[in-house]
Amino acid sequence: MKQLTHEALQASERYLNNGLISKEKIDQAIQTCLLKVDANITKLGELYPTPATQNNAYQPIQNIEWTNGFWTGMLWLCYEYTEDEKYKNLAEKNVSSFLGRIQETIEVEHHDLGFLYSLSCVSAYKLTGNGDAKKAALLAADKLLERYQEKGEFIQAWGELGKKDNYRLIVDCLLNIPLLYWAAEITGEAHYRSAAEKHYQTTITYAIREDASAYHTYYFDPATGEPLEGKTRQGYSDDSSWARGQSWLIYGIALNQAYHQTTEETFLFESVTNYFLNRLPKDFVSYWDLIFDDDSEQSKDSSATAIAVCGMNLMDNFLPESNQHKLIYKYAQHAMLASLIDHYTESKTDGISALINEGVYSWHSGKGVNEGNIWGDYFYLEALIRFKKDWKMYW
Ligand code: GLY
């Protein structure tokens, strides 16, 4: 592991001065989400929203995208919160669709199987014991394992397996490997866990720069497994830090801590988190790449902030009271979430509406720029539920 620069947290008083969110505000924000989800259900039926909105509205699609699990995950969160069977009934129909998708291998030749199946099916199994959900999630875990590359010890994100131009990991995958930890626990088979652990180690060794910022993707030599170079796909440039990549790291490191209870993750977590927090603009919601500031006229990525809040909230369980950042991180979570509630939730369409606005899916390809996206919605609702109760993770 390379030696990381540990940036001191700057201007911590701005979080303290912002105060904590009241319980009433969290309740109200969840109610607003439920109203939007209910309205979206009437327009979607058993279909799913597109990954991102266009002119602020999602379109209905079949179960074909890497993002469909976020919608089903939201239905499970709504069910947990309300205990209203209507969410469970629809989520269970989604589970049948996810079982069919993996059995028929429809759009599953990529690493996003964790996003898809942890939120749709592991959730269902944990909440209701649904047997189809367990079966589907285990099949998905097996499919994900097919992407594990011994040479380099990582899970190949996209493209034909073993091909030089696709022989890379991406930081986002830290949220896909919980599916493997779950499969190891359910089956007692150690190979799932071993692949997840190796992938994690490779990611934190190579995808984090010495200044604790994130490379989005990192290439390896397919012949030897030697590390080659960091490259971006969704960030501004190879040497900038894509905001969502940094927040995938924050949550990914916290998840690893949750699975392993090691102490060395604390320093790593603080380094990566301080890098993110030190680049938050005035309203505590990051631009889509951390090189941008309030003078940049660039778009925010509200989803990156929602993901960071969830990761910091999880990590709080493992930071001792004596930790110098524990209190500030708590206030920082509140400041970020309060800003999302106050400034990013306006309803902007009569169509299928996002819970939070102003995300960026992919700036270089012009997809979902300054639009809502379904993972931003999911992590926003997860964050609210985390603030509301002692939430048992689907991850
Ligand atoms: N995992 C893909 C993305 O964050 O856009």
Helix (H, G, I), strand (E, B) or coil at 169: strand
- Cβ of 153 closer than 6 Å to ligand 1, yes or no, is no
Q: Give residue 366 CA to ligand 1 midpoint distance, Å.
A: 14
Q: Give residue 23 CA to ligand 1 midpoint distance, Å.
A: 31
Kindly state the tokens that stand for 211.
């200044």
Quick check: is 211 catalytic?
Answer: no
Predicted pLDDT of residue 1: 65
Backbone phi, psi, residue 389, to 5° = -150, 175
Q: Which distant-in-sequence residues (6+ apart) come within 8 Å of 366 by Cβ?
A: none
Q: Which of 38, 112, 221, 294 is catalytic?
A: 112
- Cβ of 244 closer than 6 Å to ligand 1, yes or no, is yes
Helix (H, G, I), strand (E, B) or coil at 381: helix
Index of the ligand 1 atom closest to the CA of residue 248 = 4
Predicted pLDDT of residue 265: 85
- Cβ of 172 closer than 6 Å to ligand 1, yes or no, is yes
Which single residue is written with the structure tokens 């009433």? 24
Index of the ligand 1 atom closest to the CA of residue 172 = 1
- Cβ of 111 closer than 6 Å to ligand 1, yes or no, is no
Q: Give residue 92 CA to ligand 1 midpoint distance, Å.
A: 25
Q: Which of 111, 168, 234 to mutate to test the pocket of ligand 1 (most atoms within 8 A of CB)?
A: 234
Quick check: is 132 catalytic?
Answer: no
Q: Give residue 169 CA to ligand 1 midpoint distance, Å.
A: 13
Fold for the domain defined by 13-388: Glycosyltransferase (1.50.10)
Index of the ligand 1 atom closest to the CA of residue 112 = 1
Q: What are the C-alpha distances in Å from 98 to residues 74, 155, 340?
A: 15, 22, 31
Q: What are the C-alpha distances in Å from 148 to residues 157, 160, 168, 303, 378?
A: 9, 12, 11, 28, 27
Tell me, what amino acid is at 17? N
Can you tell me the distance from the alpha carbon of 114 to that of 127, in angstroms, rounded to the nearest whole number? 17
User: Can you give the residue ranges of every domain in the chain?
Assistant: 13-388
DSSP 179-207: HHHHHHHHH--HHHHHHHHHHHHHHHHHS
Helix (H, G, I), strand (E, B) or coil at 287: strand
Q: Which of 172, 289, 301, 377 is catalytic?
A: 172
- Cβ of 216 closer than 6 Å to ligand 1, yes or no, is no
Instruction: Judge if pTM exceeds 0.75.
Output: yes
Q: Which of 26, 12, 6, 14 is nearest to 385 (CA)?
A: 26
Index of the ligand 1 atom closest to the CA of residue 245 = 4
Can you tell me the distance from the alpha carbon of 50 to that of 375, in angstroms, rounded to the nearest whole number? 11
Nearest CA to ligand 1 atom 2: 172
Q: Give residue 323 CA to ligand 1 midpoint distance, Å.
A: 31
Q: Give residue 74 CA to ligand 1 midpoint distance, Å.
A: 17
Beta strands in 82-239 (DSSP E): 148-149, 154-155, 168-170, 217-220, 227-231
Nearest CA to ligand 1 atom 5: 361
Nearest CA to ligand 1 atom 1: 172
Full pLDDT tens readout for the chain, 395 residues: 678 888 999 999 999 999 999 999 999 999 999 999 999 999 999 999 999 999 999 999 999 999 999 999 999 999 999 999 999 999 999 999 999 999 999 999 999 999 999 999 999 999 999 999 999 999 999 999 999 999 999 999 999 999 999 999 999 999 999 999 999 999 999 999 999 999 999 999 999 999 999 999 999 999 999 999 999 999 999 999 999 999 999 999 999 999 987 666 899 999 999 999 999 999 999 999 999 999 999 999 999 999 999 999 999 999 999 999 999 999 999 999 999 999 999 999 999 999 999 999 999 999 999 999 999 999 999 999 999 999 999 99
Q: Give residue 172 CA to ligand 1 midpoint distance, Å.
A: 6
